[in-house]
Each structure stands twice: as C-alpha cells, then as structure tokens.
Amino acid sequence: MVNLRTDLRQRIRAHLSTATSDFPRFPSFPSSYRKEESDGYGAAPGLHTYRITDTHGYQRRVHLRVDPDGSGVLFRDVTDVIHLNVTATEIAHLALEGVPQDRARRQLRRTYGKSVSSGQLDGDLASIYDLVGAMTDPGDACPTCALPELPRADLFSTPVHAPYKVDLAVTYGCNNECPHCYNEPTHYPMASLSKEHWFEVVDRLHELGVPHLIFTGGEATLHPDLPEIIAHADRLGHVVGLNSNGRRMAHQPYVAELAAAGLNHVQITLGSSRPAIHDAMMGARAFDQTVRGIRNAVDSPLHTITNTTLMQANKNHAEEIIEFLYDLGIRTFAMNGMIYSGGGFGNGTAIPEAEMPALLIRVRDKADDLGMRFLWYTPTEYCRMSPVELELGAKRCNAGEYSLCIEPNGDVLPCQSYYVAAGNILRDPWEEIWQGALFRSFRDRVEDPRWAGLPEKCWECPDLPLCGGGCRIEREARDGHRIAEHGHGGGCAGCSGSCGTGKSASDSPFTADIELTLLPTGFVPPAGQVNSPVRGSGVMVVQ
C-alpha cells in the first residue's frame, strides 16, 4: 500500500523542486529579444534584464541575477527559476548577450585553458545555450518541466543572497477599514518616503538583484506618486505588481495610467460576492467600486487575480464567490486564512483550523470544475493541516528568505505583517540586514529549529523542510502573544501571495523593538478625506 502522505510529498518535491544547474539540453535560443543593458562579456553582479515579445505581442521578462560570489539565478517571468553555478552563470550570460557559440567557446578556452577538456567544454556550452533557449522561448510551454537529467534540489533548500520578491508598503493609509486588517494601528500614521527616496529604494533593490516588486499598503493606489514609482521600477526591468482593494481602479483612466507606467499584474481583494457581506468585511461601502475595479483590470493588459480572506462571514458561500469571480473574467484566484497581527489578533471571526480542510476541499473542487487556478497562501504546520495532503501544493513561509517587506519609511520587515524591523534599506548596510539574527532565524529554522524558536515537536520532524514550522505569527497568537506588544512573533503576508516569518538584530531571535521613524519631507496620508478617524486615504475616493 502506498503511503499517501509520503507519496504526495515526493510528488510535490519532484514537481516543484528547483534546478541547481548543470547542463540541460534544449533547442537553440531565439534572437527575438533585446538586452536593456550591456557590460561586455563579464557577468557583473546585479540584475540583468531581457525583454521578449511573443507573436501575440505579450512581453515576457527573463532575468539573470548574478550574485557576488559569481553564481546566478535565472528567472522567466519571476515564476520559473533555475539556480546556476559560477561557470553556468558565465555561459548563460554569454548566451543571453547573443554571443555566438563558437565565439563563446574561444573566450572560455582562453579563460579556462587546458583545465577542461574540449568535449566537456563543448557539451556544457551547448547545454547551457539550450537551457537559455528554453527560458527565452516566447511560447507558453513550461521551460523547466522537461529538463532531462538535471540535478535538482529539494524545494526551499537552495540558499539565496537576496530575496526574489519585495513588497513595498508605500503607505499605511487606506480607504477601507477592515476590522481584521493585519496592519498594526500603531503604524497607521507612519509617513512615507518622498518619491525620490522611493526611487532610491528601487535602485537599491535592483543592485541587490531582486527581480520582482509588489506595491502594497495600506492601499498603495492612494499614494500620489505610485505611477511614477512604478515607471521607475519598470525602466530598470523589474516585474511590477500591485495589491489593492480595487476601489481607485473603478476609474478606468487610472487603470490605464498604471498599465502605461509599466505595471504587470494586480491582485484585488474581494471579501464576498454578496455586497452587504463584502462591505462589512471591508468596513466601508466598497463593493460596487471593487467589482468595477476588477472588471476594469480584467479588461486591461494587466494580469489580474483576486484574493479572499476566508472567515466566518463568507465560508458558507465560498463556491458562490468562485462562480462570481469566474463570471467577472477571473481565471486565477487566491485565498488565505486569518492573519493574526493587527486586527486579526484575537479576532473571533477567524475559521478554526480544524474546520479549514473541508472548506479548502470545497474550494479546490469548485476551482477544478470551472477550470480555474486556486492559490492557497497561508503557511500552516503540516502536522496540523498539510496543504500537500489537501493537494494544494507545498506552502512554506518565505519571510526573510525569498521575500521581505519595506515599510513606508524604508524599514525592512521579514514580511508585511511581522512588525519587527531588521534595519532601514536606505540607512543600513544590506549585509547587516540580511545576515542579522532576525532574518537568519527564518532562513535557519530548518537547519537549527531550536535556535530559531520552533517548538520541540518540529526539531526532528521529517516534514520540517517543507513546512518550516508554519506561520510564526499564528503560532505566537495561539500562545496569546502579539507582535506589537511583545516585539516577537511571526508573520504571514498572505494577502500578497508571500508569507513570511523572522533572528532579531540582537543575540536572541525575539528581542527587537519596533521603531517608527516619521520623515517630515515624505508623503503623509492626510486624515479626514474618508470616514475613518485613524486612517487617511491621501486621495479622494472615486465615486
């Protein structure tokens, strides 16, 4: 008899593991792309971006991130990822630059001399060129699914020097008042950096090799400089996303402005297909605007998905919500459970974990019936609820490792609902932030779970590499601890599609204090423009 749990775990690992780089074979790479920057043959550290236009006019982006040690990561549309060793990175860079193979062979021969045989050099060169050909193929086929005899690493096992994605919380102002909002009220008045400082933030992330930026909040569309900041990120070659409640996107010219600025994708929050329930969940009469925003986004060039927090108010009509989204033109949707920070801490409207599996099976099956893609965001302890056994795919908190968040003032958080800063992106050296105890506690929780603060049951658990101990915020909330009060805990940025949790800058993982820095020259969301005594919008609400 097959052990279902083991079998599913192996299937997930086989399907989702990341390639560690040797030399797969693919057809030769096409010439229908242009390089945005050129620095000769050398693979200089940083982010190298290539734009590819397919026969339908759709633009893809391929990034080669070269790390300081010379190794690299190859991304296609920031979804397909292959890790490369130093030699493979050098060859991939030559291929992406359009250097002919015979010319590349001569250069590599000069570089490596007789230390490598002609047969090995020719084989490796052809294989990496073929790999780049697959990654730059403008077709819809998965470029990594058919890699033959390519060494693979277990999912989540490859160390990284910088995240793949950063959430930019450009403001905590919002025109909704969701009672369950994960933002901590003490952060609502935090001033935002000036436009020029946000440009510097984006520049810094580009230097670090981060290919994917998502603007969030609060409500990011309330920041008056958002289109210009998006345009700056697009000029540098980043894939740019937006998380929004959709209300400003009810104004079609604004959607067009965002798309023209270079926005690639948007995720809009919908609480319910029933107006009264949605409005109650959002704390505002927002349903009509949000739905118009979804329609406008679907009708635009933007790749559009939605997210829904599953709560007591909407659990009994989850299938109805999915059908409603389908009728709006949505084909990919996400859902998450309660995020236990801010208004989510101690919130009685959360669905008990014991009830969640049956609900998720209903959601999964309805999505399958309609041919939709369902993304489950919330990381859980696999011993309590395994997304693998529910056939939802492997899910683990990515905070402080593959993703992080930058607050409106530039402070760097492990994720956007874990309110302990590891430093400031504009003031502090990156290595102090990245190698500090706070971020290492997230990255090292599999190798040293005891030091990272995981409970004893996790230390020898075979599922730990996939599970990662679940969401630290949720685990701490079960014990009655709140991050804003105790300076410890953990987080899940579930509504952004990246969950995360964090060793602090001190010797102990859980002793960092929250620091609020209000910059007098930055954008401060003014209060009084919406019906909220605590959260200003910064922009008049579109009627």
Q: What tens digit of pLDDT does each residue of 315-343 get? A: 999 999 999 999 999 999 999 998 878 88
In a domain, 114, yes or no: yes
User: What angle separates helix 86-96 from helix 101-112, to the nearest 10 degrees?
Assistant: 150
- By percentage, how much of the chain surpasses pLDDT 70? 76
Q: What is the CA radius of gyration of the chain?
A: 23
Average pLDDT over residues 100-110: 92
518 within domain boundaries: no
Question: Can you give the pLDDT at residue 47?
Answer: 96
Q: How far is CA 95 from CA 29, 44, 119, 129, 237, in A?
A: 8, 15, 19, 6, 19
Residue of 374, 354, 351 whose CA lies nearest to 362: 374
If asked whether residues 394 and 268 sit together in one domain, one would say: yes
213 forms beta bridges with 166, 240
For 12-44, what is each residue's pLDDT tens digit?
A: 333 333 333 332 222 223 332 233 333 345 689
Contact 406, 166 (CB under 8 A): yes
What is the rounded average pLDDT for all residues in the chain?
80
Q: Last residue of a domain, which of 93, 125, 153?
A: 153
Of the candidates 293, 308, 294, which has an alpha carbon nearest to the alpha carbon of residue 363? Answer: 308
* CA dihedral (438, 468, 398, 179) positive or negative: negative
Task: Give the domain extent around 107.
Answer: 18-153
Q: Evaluate if residue 52 carries a pLDDT over 80.
A: yes
513 lies in some domain: no
Torsion of CA 528, 529, 531, 535, to 10 degrees: -70
Mean predicted confidence (pLDDT) in 115-125: 88
**Domain annotation covers residue 4:** no
The β-bridge relationship of strands 403-406 and 412-413 is antiparallel
pLDDT in tens, 409-463: 999 999 998 889 999 999 999 999 999 999 999 999 989 999 988 999 999 999 9
489 plus 345 within the same structural domain: yes
Instruction: Evaluate whether residue 426 is within a structural domain.
Output: yes
Residues 92, 83 contacting (CB under 8 angstroms): no
Q: Which two tokens stand for residue 10?
A: 């192996």
Look up residue 530 and give its two tokens. Answer: 């919406």
Instruction: Retrieve residue 59's tokens.
Output: 């633009």
In a domain, 209, yes or no: yes
Which residue type occupies 267? Q
Give the end of a domain, one of 477, 496, 515.
496
Which tokens hold the place of 173?
Answer: 């102002």
Single pTM value for the model: 0.82
> Are residues 174 and 31 located together in one domain of the fold?
no
Query: What band does 154 get if pLDDT is binned at 50, 70 and 90?
Result: low
Residue 479 has pLDDT above 50, yes or no: yes
Confidence of residue 516 (pLDDT cuts 50, 70, 90): very low
Regarding whether 141 and 173 lie in a shared domain, the answer is no
pLDDT at residue 497, as a whole number:
34
Nearest to 433 by CA among 241, 187, 208: 208
One domain, residues 185 and 81: no
Query: Tokens at residue 413, please?
Result: 């958080």
- Claim to verify: residue 132 and residue 174 sit in the same structural domain: no
Number of domains observed in the structure of the chain: 2
- What is the Cα–Cα distance from 190 to 171, expressed in whole angstroms? 8
Q: Is residue 118 located within the same domain as residue 206?
A: no
Verify that 127 and 178 share a domain, yes or no.
no
SS3 string, 134-150, reads: HHCCCCCCCCCCCCCCC
Predicted pLDDT of residue 294: 99
Same domain for 475 and 377: yes
Closest to 179 in 3D by CA, of 417, 348, 408: 348
DSSP H helical ranges for 209-355? 226-235, 252-261, 275-282, 287-298, 318-328
Which of 510, 541, 522, 540 has its CA nearest to residue 229? Answer: 522
181 and 43 Cβ atoms separated by less than 8 Å = no
pLDDT of residue 14: 38
8 located within any domain: no
Q: Which helix (H) or strand (E) holds 439?
A: helix 437-443
State both tokens at 316. 């009994």
Contact 106, 41 (CB under 8 A): no
Lowest mean per-residue pLDDT among 159-163, 204-208, 224-228, 343-347: 343-347
Instruction: Identify whether the C-beta of residue 214 lies closer than 8 Å to the C-beta of residue 167.
Output: yes
Angle between helices 101-112 and 118-135 (to 10 degrees): 130
**Are 267 and 391 contained in the same domain?**
yes
Q: Is residue 105 predicted with pLDDT exceeding 60?
A: yes
Best CA proximity match to 377, nearest among 306, 465, 318:
306
491: left (phi over 0), alpha (psi -120 to 50) or beta: beta
In angstroms, the CA 437 to CA 443 distance is 10
Are residues 536 and 527 in contact, defined by beta-carbon separation less than 8 angstroms? yes
pLDDT at 63 over 60: yes
pLDDT of 539 > 50? The answer is no
Q: Residue range 151-162: average pLDDT?
A: 73
435 in any annotated domain: yes
234 and 204 both lie in a single domain: yes
Query: Is-contact 330 356, C-beta < 8 A?
Result: no
> Residue 70's CB: how many other CB atoms inside 10 A?
14
Task: With a cut of 60, say whether residue 529 has pLDDT above it.
Answer: no
Number of residues that this document lists for the chain: 543
Question: Which of the four pLDDT bands, split at 50, 70 and 90, describes residue 305?
Answer: very high
Residues 60 and 133 in one domain: yes
The CATH number given to whatever domain includes residue 466 is: 3.20.20.70
φ and ψ at residue 523, rounded to 5 degrees: -80, 120
Check: CB of residue 273 under 8 Å from CB of residue 317: yes
**Residue 260 pLDDT:** 98
